[in-house]
Amino acid sequence: MKTNRTTLLLSCVPNGGAAIPRSRLHWATLAAALAVVAGCDSTDLVGVTDVSDDLLEESDAVVDFSDTPGAGDGADAADDATTLPGDDTTDDVSLTDVLADDVAAGEDTAAEDVEGDASDDDDSLGGDTQGGEDAGPGPASVCTVTPGDASEGQEAGPATMACVYETKTLDVPVGFVTEPRDVLYALPLGAAPKDGWPVAILFHGTAIPPEYYWDGAEDDGLGHWNQLKLVKSLIDAGFAVLTPRAEVALGYWNTNVPPWALSWSTAPDHQFMLDLIAAIGAGDFGPLDADRLYPSGISSGGFMASRVATTYPGVKALAVHSAAYANCGSICFPPAFDAEHPPSVFLHGALDAVVLVSSMEAYRDALVDAGVETETVIDPDAGHEWIGAAPESITSWFLEHP
């Protein structure tokens, strides 16, 4: 039976607000929109989800609401399941443990297991592991987590993560010219499944290039560490990860920008997606399964993920983070959907002042009305940023919909 679940992460921190990104990150524009400082009580969460005050008082709880499609927001509170985690954090404990275990075991294990000649692909930043073949140093599907160094008498610095990836450039026809569009990607280690690796396509947000999916530090702003953990989680779970680049001149996706929002067939990004999916099917990125696509993204990238899910074949499941329906903006009036819309998980920060929670909810509610399976995860302490639940929630959702 299809279900529609809402998970509310409760971890109330007085005067919690958006983190300011480190100066090396080019996120100043978005950070300015996230200067939201608020406490955390039941009144702060009005409009986030239909949950009683006594549940809101359960600090550090994960509240899971389950009902069948079309049941609406008035489900009996007695049927709601409340689970108290064993510690005082709302981070992805299991995923954090995975990362810690990788460090303890030594991330060089995969590099030692994969030896051979380097790939002939000039775009490669590391060895080519496509199809489980031998590769050179630096396997392209390994993310390395490095603990922060501690000087004598001082606390350890932030941990860092770096994932080795390759870059392929597609020459996309735009009018009478071609426009080069980069796709950064990595494949899991080992031999691919018979039909190829399933493909997670992750779209970046406005003015944040796709490189930020592959490298960064634990103290980066706007949830960047959670973004990196998502990439590692997906690759480790057996997904190829592709991160396309939006038009350089714009820095964001065409999907909800006039005139293309209502005339998608004329959009440069439409031709880019046609070429990208064709390249996946042709094996240009290695042994990938073009019939198992899993789009996701944040902000502009989340809107673009919705566009892909509602326009192109082969999409098995969708994850929308801090965004809404394909052609919506901060306010959303989505159309009616049919039950063929891919199962969708929605992730959002309750303090998001860029894309309102209500915009996402309008999209989700329209899917529920159509009988589409959905899940909603809301972090009451987060703004317009990757939330801590994203890596495990998105990976699990994709795995549940093969």
Question: 320-356: per-residue pLDDT in tens?
Answer: 999 999 999 878 899 999 999 999 999 999 999 999 9
The predicted model gives 162-188 an average pLDDT of 96
How far, in Å, CA of 351 to CA of 385, rounded? 10
User: What integer pLDDT is reported at residue 215 of this predicted model?
Assistant: 96
Question: What are the angstrom distances between the C-alpha of 330 and each of 158, 255, 324, 385?
Answer: 34, 14, 8, 15
User: What integer pLDDT is reported at residue 57 of this predicted model?
Assistant: 36
User: What integer pLDDT is reported at residue 216 of this predicted model?
Assistant: 96
How far, in Å, CA of 373 to CA of 130, rounded? 33
Q: What is the CATH number of domain 93-399?
A: 3.40.50.1820
Task: Tell me the residue type at 316.
Answer: K
Q: Inform me whether the pLDDT recorded for 400 exceeds 70.
A: yes
Task: Tell me the residue type at 365.
Answer: D
Q: Inform me whether the pLDDT recorded for 161 exceeds 80.
A: yes
Instruction: Determine contact, residues 384/34, Cβ cutoff 8 Å.
Output: yes
| Tokens 């550090």, residue located | 60
Instruction: Determine contact, residues 98/236, Cβ cutoff 8 Å.
Output: yes
Of 95-99, 147-151, 176-180, 218-222, the least confident: 95-99
How far, in Å, CA of 5 to CA of 132, rounded? 37
User: What integer pLDDT is reported at residue 9 of this predicted model?
Assistant: 58
Q: Inform me whether the pLDDT recorded for 28 exceeds 90.
A: no
- Number of Cβ within 10 Å of residue 233's Cβ equals 27
End-to-end CA distance of the chain: 16
pLDDT band at residue 8 using 50, 70 and 90 as cut-offs:
low
How far, in Å, CA of 231 to CA of 236, rounded? 9
Instruction: Determine contact, residues 388/226, Cβ cutoff 8 Å.
Output: yes
Q: Which two tokens stand for residue 3?
A: 């279900």
Residue with the larger pLDDT of the pair 112 and 207: 207
User: What integer pLDDT is reported at residue 116 of this predicted model?
Assistant: 34
For the chain, what percent of residues have pLDDT higher than 90?
60
User: What integer pLDDT is reported at residue 316 of this predicted model?
Assistant: 99
Instruction: Determine contact, residues 367/337, Cβ cutoff 8 Å.
Output: yes
Tell if the pTM clears 0.85, that is, is over it: no
Domain ranges, ordered by start, for the chain: 93-399
Q: Which two tokens stand for residue 83?
A: 């689970």
User: What integer pLDDT is reported at residue 7 of this predicted model?
Assistant: 62
Q: Which among 277, 314, 275 is positioned nearest to 293, based on CA atoms?
A: 314
Q: Which among 52, 69, 72, 59 is positioned nearest to 13, based on CA atoms?
A: 59
Instruction: Determine contact, residues 274/268, Cβ cutoff 8 Å.
Output: no
Q: Inform me whether the pLDDT recorded for 254 exceeds 80.
A: yes
- Number of Cβ within 10 Å of residue 356's Cβ equals 17
Question: 370-394: per-residue pLDDT in tens?
Answer: 999 999 999 999 999 999 999 999 9
| Tokens 């031709």, residue located | 271
Partners of 286 in beta bridges: 284
Q: Inform me whether the pLDDT recorded for 366 exceeds 70.
A: yes
Residues making up the chain, counted from first to last:
402
User: What integer pLDDT is reported at residue 249 of this predicted model?
Assistant: 85
User: What integer pLDDT is reported at residue 3 of this predicted model?
Assistant: 63
The predicted model gives 124-140 an average pLDDT of 37
How far, in Å, CA of 311 to CA of 382, rounded? 30
pLDDT band at residue 1 using 50, 70 and 90 as cut-offs:
low
Question: 194-245: per-residue pLDDT in tens?
Answer: 999 999 999 999 999 999 999 999 999 999 999 999 999 999 999 999 999 9
Instruction: Determine contact, residues 203/194, Cβ cutoff 8 Å.
Output: no
Q: Which among 292, 314, 289 is positioned nearest to 194, based on CA atoms?
A: 289
Question: 49-94: per-residue pLDDT in tens?
Answer: 333 333 333 333 333 333 333 333 333 333 333 333 333 333 333 3
* Residue 213 DSSP code: G
User: What integer pLDDT is reported at residue 154 of this predicted model?
Assistant: 76
pLDDT band at residue 110 using 50, 70 and 90 as cut-offs:
very low
- Number of Cβ within 10 Å of residue 181's Cβ equals 22
Q: Is the dihedral of CA 144, 148, 151, 153 positive or negative?
A: negative
User: What integer pLDDT is reported at residue 264 of this predicted model?
Assistant: 98
Instruction: Determine contact, residues 359/330, Cβ cutoff 8 Å.
Output: yes
Element (H, E) at 391: helix 390-399
For the chain, what percent of residues have pLDDT higher than 70?
65
How far, in Å, CA of 354 to CA of 222, rounded? 13
Distance of CA 200 to the CA centre of its chain: 9
Q: Inform me whether the pLDDT recorded for 164 exceeds 50.
A: yes
Question: What are the angstrom distances between the C-alpha of 292 and each of 99, 171, 184, 196, 201?
Answer: 26, 24, 19, 9, 11
User: What integer pLDDT is reported at residue 302 of this predicted model?
Assistant: 99
